[in-house]
Chains A and B, each alone.
Chain A
Amino acid sequence: MSSPTGQESGMFMSIESKRLKIEPKTYSRRKSDKNRSKRNSNSDDLPSPSKTSKSKDKYVGPPSVILDNGSYTAKIGMSNNEPKVIPNCMMKVKSERKRLFISNQIEECRDLSGLYYLLPCEKGYIMKWTVQKPVWDYIFNNVCSVEDKPVVMTQPLYNFKAIQEITDEIFFEEYEIKSMFRANPTDLAKYEYTNNVVGKQTSCIIVDSGFTCTTVVPYIGGKKYYKGIKRINVGGKLLTNYLKDIISYRQLHVMDETYVINQVKEDTCYVSSDFKQDMRIAGYSGEQNTIVKNYVLPDFNTIRRGYVQQQGDTSEIAEGCQILRLNNERFTVPEILFYPSDIGMESMGIPETIVKCIKLCPPKEQPLLAKNIVVIGGNANFPGFKERVYSDVRSYLPDHWTVHVYKPENPTTFAWKGGKSLSEDSKIKSLLITKEQYEERGSSYTYERFSDWVHTQKGDDQEKNKVSEVKPAAESILRNSNFTRFDLFGKHEPEGEEDCVVVEESMEVDKTVTKDSAGGNNKSSESVMNVDTAKDSKEDDAEVSNSGRDLETYQEEVEEYSNNKTERSSSKTAKTTINARSSNMDTYETNCFNSYDFDVFENTYI
């Protein structure tokens, strides 16, 4: 992949740029062009006018390296190429005890029995650097060179600071890469989905079912909606291990054969669309049982890879191959993704979590989210996975919502593709952190830039009263509809000065209403009431005051309901004296209630 000439010019370049202080991007462009013309030139990257005219904001720079660093496989490739899916681990085998196989070196190994994995990741987080470093060294030396190229890399959600620091150190200081951007795989998948699949910005839910866990991440307005994110600790690893266990108990002892059983899983398992029916069929014997399959295990002598035996073909058995008889295992194993409680895990399955996640989002966005469910990750490759997710989610949601589940052609590399499209977007310029920036500002800077969960939420706390995001809108809705409950839990909003003004305003409004409609009881005393006592007073007062506060902040949403307002104010004559705003808010609230009517998980969102 990388030629020595490339390295020389790379060194040359780094010296040059230090001396001459040429702007790195333009310089590298020239340099890489030169390089390319030396090799066989790839027309895709040359700044051909036809290309640029097609899409104005296309970023034409040096091709970047995209690395989707999954816990089991790494998806790696240049942005002008196709991704390679290679194991992100080191392996040991019984036949060659001395050798350590790194990543795809395992292809050279003939006898894969008793393969032992050394995985760098635990639950998706890089933990064993002694494993990860050699794997990266190998990958960047032999599969794809990172020299002087921007790197777009994935990291799991809530990647811990310590991990990011070490990653920075390795990439910037040892590999001396030019610039880097890290994002969650779901971010990249969302980018790919909105830009290249739907073609417009939309809210969506990304379900990433990978090796170690399954994460459900809703995106609203292009951003993660943190309150809706859920993780299920079920992934491909657990399924393989479970299959290994049950086969060992029921048929053959295969506890050491993780690699083979993983292949068995990939070859035979499927997601049942009608679990009860399939279970009934699996109970039959003989011809009626259409589910049972014989799997010929590899002996690494004549059979290198196991395969499913064709029906009626019994010749293999005579030769003395080992055969696994897979009956209900074929669909009960992936079923764990849908019902982790089958193996005693106290957790929701994927469809239930998706629905839960939708319910946690603002009501306005919920139908949109249901329409845009994207399933990615290795487990989405199970036949029937998408259909099952669809039918289950469908059964949970109200009838008039459209539910759509999108499964990309290759769910494994979808995030990689997102990284590729992102690296071709002009936006990438502002996202990348260059080596100079890193050297200047250190690891905490990169941490802050690449960990959107830190500042998104921090900002949310600080400017609770003025952010016009959808996120606080949802909060206000929850607060309004469950005011008493929040009161019980003692969750009061911090009271700023602006707030007080707003509250007093609406209080006065309220007073006039009650005087008009119900006649004066003890309301006159309220005119001197301060905010705190208002909170403790009757519930509807508080509700109005609350809504008055929301008004100030969510003008846009209020505008949407202005049509409703006119209807309402005409019907309720008593409220005609109210100023327009609070009447708006009333209708807003009732709308919210309506959309909560079907809530199957009522009262669970605290």
Chain B
Amino acid sequence: MSVENNAKSDTRPVYKATTFQHTSKSNNKKRAWKSLKQIISAERTLPWPEDYVHYSSINAPPSFKPAEKFSDLSGLAAPYTDPQTRLRFANKEEYATLIGLPMDITAGYLALRGASSIVG
């Protein structure tokens, strides 16, 4: 099936002009696509009217509800936080494993829930 299809696509391209050559094909390599970040930041800096709604302004605002706390190890509701590693844990068994964890693993756990910044 696929071989057939491939053969077909080789002989008959989807566009009708079989001799079609993309105008920018020769310098396609040089043509650097702007990344999405660049496009968005360029869009943001445009002089928009005050109440114009554009891409960057439709982001959902921060929630009004406080985030709940879950254990990093098991995902269960965590009433406790280890002050040293700042990991959360649900019970003493988890704490026992937690204190034995190396630094990079605890950092990874924190990054997982977006709490790796020093301030937070």
Contacts and interface: CB of A to CB of B under 8 A. Distances in A.
A328 B75 contact: yes
A367 interface: no
A344 interface: yes
A175 B20 CA distance: 10
B9 to A, nearest CB: 5
Interface string A262-276: 000000000000001
Given A7-B16, A176-B15, A491-B50, A230 B60 contact: yes
Interface in A479-515: 491
A232 B60 contact: yes
B14 A141 contact: yes
Given A141-B5, A339-B67, A231 B75 contact: no
Contact of A230 (B2, B58, B65): B58
B100 interface: no
Contacts of A125: 36, 39
B39 A137 contact: no
A146 B14 contact: yes
B47 interface: no
Interface string B73-105: 111110000000000001000000000000001
Contact of A332 (B15, B36, B70): B70
B53 A7 contact: no
Contact of A231 (B39, B60, B73): B60
Contacts of A332: 70, 75
Given A141-B8, A339-B68, A344-B114, A174 B22 contact: yes
Nearest to B11: A4
Interface in B32-88: 33-36, 39, 43, 49-55, 58-68, 70, 73-77
Contacts of A429: none
B109 to A, nearest CB: 7
B53 A127 contact: no
Nearest to A136: B14
Contacts of B60: 216, 230-233, 347-348, 353, 356
Contact of A249 (B63, B108, B120): B108
Nearest to B37: A122
Contacts of A128: 33
Contact of A162 (B9, B34, B113): B34
Interface in A74-118: 105, 108
A494 to B, nearest CB: 11
A62 to B, nearest CB: 16
B114 A345 contact: yes
Of all A-B residue pairs in the complex, the 9 with the closest CB atoms, nearest first, are A344-B114, A341-B67, A226-B53, A158-B55, A328-B75, A346-B62, A140-B14, A174-B15, A122-B36
27 contacts: A105-B2, A125-B39, A129-B33, A137-B13, A138-B9, A140-B14, A141-B12, A146-B14, A158-B55, A160-B43, A174-B15, A229-B53, A233-B59, A246-B112, A249-B105, A282-B76, A328-B76, A332-B70, A342-B113, A344-B67, A344-B113, A344-B115, A347-B60, A348-B64, A356-B60, A457-B49, A491-B50
Given A162-B39, A349-B63, 14 more contacts: A10-B16, A125-B36, A141-B12, A142-B5, A160-B39, A160-B43, A175-B15, A249-B108, A250-B74, A340-B63, A344-B120, A348-B60, A353-B60, A453-B54
Interface of B: 1-2, 5, 8-9, 12-17, 20, 22, 33-36, 39, 43, 49-55, 58-68, 70, 73-77, 90, 105, 108-109, 112-115, 120
